[in-house]
Every structure is written in structure tokens, then in C-alpha cells.
Amino acid sequence: MTTGFVGLGQMGALMAKRLIADGVIVYDVVPEATASLAEAGAKPAQSLEELAGADLISLMVRDDAQVRDVCGVLLPLVAPGTVIAIHSTIQASTAVELAEQAAVRGIEIVDAPVSGGFMGATEGTLAVMIGGSQAAFERCEGPFGRWASLVLHMGPVGSGTRTKLARNLLHFVAFTAAGEAARLAEASGVSLRKLGRVVRHSDAVTGGPGAIMIRSTATPIPSDDPLRGPFEHALALGDKDLSLAIALADELDVDVPLARLAIENFARSLGVADE
């Protein structure tokens, strides 16, 4: 399979580099971006048109507008059966719309955003969430496995992006909560660096917020479900610890709106709220 890669920024360059052994054509609007990859063995393209012969083309560009621009050039040129994978985080509707346009020409578009950041791209341990047909997923799975250690088929086109947006909602809300926790810790005289070490260590052991994401539905847990007991136990612990943290915040005059919102919605979020 011949692969092409468009967009050689901080993430894209690292992902494309892991495809060099299989042969990859690389392109970026900044010509200098292809230089180091060319030295490592990639084939640099001077224009998007030079990628038209690739069987799989990955796009790691900035936003919806750039994705549309690149697809506008490629769709009239690539052969039927080509798969174009969009790794950029965009609107799910953009991927769906472009996939419909591509299907008329016998081309498949998958939305395949990634998670894991610069560290995952460096180590080749990204997660990639793919929305598209089963056949397109199977064609992508091997090449994507060069730079990702988790390659999942999420469903039809748009599913990958919806997964990424839900994942990042958790990610960035957690960053906001981390800031709240840091303010409380600092007001308490606690070392923020050591607190950070504790958080990273314990999350690596427990799975962090993802530890409760083991159910196939977000609806309330039935009373006879084996998970009901463990989740009620988590509720009891969380209610106690959140109450103590809020009391400490009140004592130190630290504003903790997320903690107050969390305790109010904790039971419902766990699926064990009283009817």
C-alpha cells in the first residue's frame, strides 16, 4: 500500500516518520517541513497533486477549512478505492459531508482523530478513533498501527470525531478541575509539584476518570447489576471526600465551583442517583 501524508506539524511529522520504512510521500505547505523526513527516506512532494497515486492519504492539518481545501484538490484526482483519513479534530458534520462527496467517486473518507499528544506521537503509542466502513478500517488498521498502539473502529463516518470530542471534554474539564485543586492545595501550604506526582502516580494505577467508563450505557444502573454495589461505594467515598474538600475550601476562602457542581451531580454521573 502506498501512503501519503499531508501536514507535517509537531504531531504529523512524528506520525509520518514511522511510515518511512513502508514508503511514504509527504507534503506540507511549508516546503522546509519535508526536509528532515526526506533525509530519513520519505519521498517529498512539491504539491498535493503528487499524492494522488497513493492508496491511503492521511491529513493532519489545522482545521475544517484546511481539510476542505485539501480534499477539494485531492478528490477529483485520486483513484476509486483510495482512502483519505482525516486526523485533524474537526466537526463531525464536515467528515460526513466530505465522505458523501467522495463516495460518488468511489473514494472512502474516514475520520480518524488521534489522542495521546506529542508524547504518544514520539513513542508511537497514540490512540486513533476511526469512523468509516469496515472495509476502510481494515485498510487503515495496519498503517495506523505504525504510529498508534490503540486502533479502534468506532462506527460510521463521524463516529471517530464524536469520540474525540467526548474524550477531550473530559480532558479539558479535568484540566480546569486540576487548577481548582491546585489553588486549594496552595492555600493549604501543599507542594503543587508533589501533588502532581501523586495525581499522576495514582491515575496510572487506577485509570483516573476513565476507570468508571466500563459500561455500555450512561443510563441508571439497575439494582440487580453487579456494578451497582461498586458504584454506590464510589458514591459514598466521593461524597465524603468532596464534602471534606469543600469544607477545607470554605475554611481557606478558596472558590471551588467545579467541586460544588461535582458533588451535586455525582450520583447521577455514576448512574446510582435515587429515583
Across all residues in the chain, what is the average pLDDT?
Answer: 96
The torsion angles phi and psi of 198, rounded to 5 degrees, stand at: -65, -45
CATH of residue 148: 3.40.50.720
Using the 3D structure, point to which of 163, 179, 197 is the last residue of a domain.
Answer: 163
The total domain count for the chain is 2
Q: Mean pLDDT over residues 193-212, rounded? A: 96
Please compute the mean of the pLDDT values over residues 3-23 and round it to a whole number. 96
Residue 222 domain-assigned?
Answer: yes
Q: Is the pLDDT of residue 275 over 70?
A: no
Classify residue 172: in a domain, yes or no: no
Per-residue pLDDT reduced to its tens digit, 250-270: 999 999 999 999 999 999 999
The residue-averaged pLDDT of 80-101 equals 97
Which residues are the active-site residues? 164
Three-class secondary structure of residue 108 per DSSP = strand
Render pLDDT for 208-239 as a digit per residue (tens, 0 to 9): 999 999 999 999 999 999 999 999 999 999 99
Domain end marker among 102, 133, 163: 163
Cα(85)–Cα(60) distance, integer angstroms: 9
Amino acid at 65: A
Same domain for 151 and 228, yes or no, is no
Q: Are residues 155 and 232 in the same domain?
A: no
* CATH value at residue 242: 1.10.1040.10
Model pLDDT, residue 1? 85
- Give the C-alpha separation, 214 to 225, whole Å: 13
- Are 99 and 220 members of one domain? no
In a domain, 189, yes or no: no
126 and 228, same domain (yes or no): no
User: Where is the domain boundary, 163, 183, 199?
Assistant: 163
All cell numbers assigned to 122: 514520539
Domain extent at residue 70: 3-163
